[in-house]
Amino acid sequence: MFDLLLRRARLVDDTVTDIAIAAGKIAALGDIDGPAAKRVDLHGEHYVSAGWIDSHVHCYPNSPIYHDEPDSVGIQTGVTTVIDAGSTGADDIDDFYAITRKASTEVYALLNISRVGLIAQNELANLNNIDADAAREAIKRHPDFIVGLKARMSSSVVGDNGITPLQRAKAIQQQNGDLPLMVHIGNNPPNLDEIAELLTSGDIITHCYNGKPNRILTPTGELRASVTRAIARGVHLDVGHGSASFSFAVAQQAIALGILPQTISSDIYCRNRIDGPVRSLANVMSKFLVIGMSLPQVIACVTDHAADGLRLKHKGRLVVGYDADLTIFDLKRQPVLFTDAENETLQAEHILTPLAAIRAGKGYMTEQGSAEHAFDL
């Protein structure tokens, strides 16, 4: 007996299949004829993918700067898994962990290398905040929750410390099983070339398409040599749209050169969720469809690429035995004017609309899905 049987689900390659779920796992795929406690027929009209993973959010409700509720940026928007990118350090990770246990969304954390987390914009201006022992103990306490490290390497954050915080972050990384390290890039110093040369396979450059002078493209529109070398070493590019870190022009130029993101993430928190320009992960994903990426490419950036980059086993793929995390969505024909972080606009004719999310086998309708009454989970 299956707990849930989704009939005639459309995949992003436009094939249609049935998906059976039992005990929080994907139990079967294909043409399925078996008993189920609940059946939902999607009639081949609605897309289903592995559950969307947002690799860069800020959802620690007690953060004084960038805060939100996990389910407001997660399950309510069709996102089944979110990774909070450094809102908390060793001092407040325990509180954040306790909060996330009450969420329907699966939440993981990138531990800020500053033990105080994001209590101010300049958390790395005081090198005493970088406490390797405190970080190690936090990772020991939460080995299944902390999936990586976060270092914000822009001038407003590091103050006069230049590249030193990143050097210390790499030392902490090496002392703790080479966890993935996500590095925020923004205004210099430190210069992006200094940053890129320190990064190694599995590290992540977030805000990769920002429009600031310290960006991945040279003034003549070529990819910086240091970033080319970093990518060749296995460094990943993450979007991290945010309020000030995404430029249509930079993304279009880079993608035209074949420099695609490994992951598409939102850098969402309450203000840019409500007031824009982020709104939701679906909104950010839709922008990349306009820029020229295909639907399968965009979905891969929030499913298998995201799961692989942060070593999330049993997520990101529609595979028997994997977690029953799924996102049901439409690609609607709807004129929309998108805005980037530079206040530039781009006209689109389609938008991704999440209708429902299934997390560990349990269904949740989004606001759009409930309004359409197309099906009921």
Name the DSSP class of 86: S
Closest CA to 122 of 68, 67, 84, 65: 65
> According to the annotation, is 58 in a ligand binding site?
yes
Residues 6+ apart with CB under 8 A from 339: 276, 277, 345
Name the DSSP class of 340: -
- Answer for the pair 180, 202: CB distance below 8 angstroms, yes or no: yes
Instruction: Give Cα 180 to chain centroid, integer Å.
Output: 14
* CA quadruple 155, 186, 211, 206: dihedral, nearest 10: 180
Instruction: Give the β-pairing of 106-112 and 79-85.
Output: parallel
Q: What angle do CA 124, 126, 127 make, to 5 degrees?
A: 85
DSSP secondary structure letters along 136-168: HHHHHH-TTTEEEEEEEESHHHHTT-TTHHHHH
> According to the annotation, is 350 in a ligand binding site?
no
- Strand, helix or coil for residue 135: helix
Cα(231)–Cα(213) distance, integer angstroms: 20
> According to the annotation, is 150 in a ligand binding site?
yes
> How many Cα atoms are found within 13 Å in the side-chain-facing hemisphere of 335?
0
Closest CA to 269 of 99, 84, 115: 84
Which parts are annotated binding residues for Zn(2+)? 56, 58, 150, 184, 207, 267
Give the annotated binding-site residues.
Answer: 56, 58, 150, 184, 207, 267
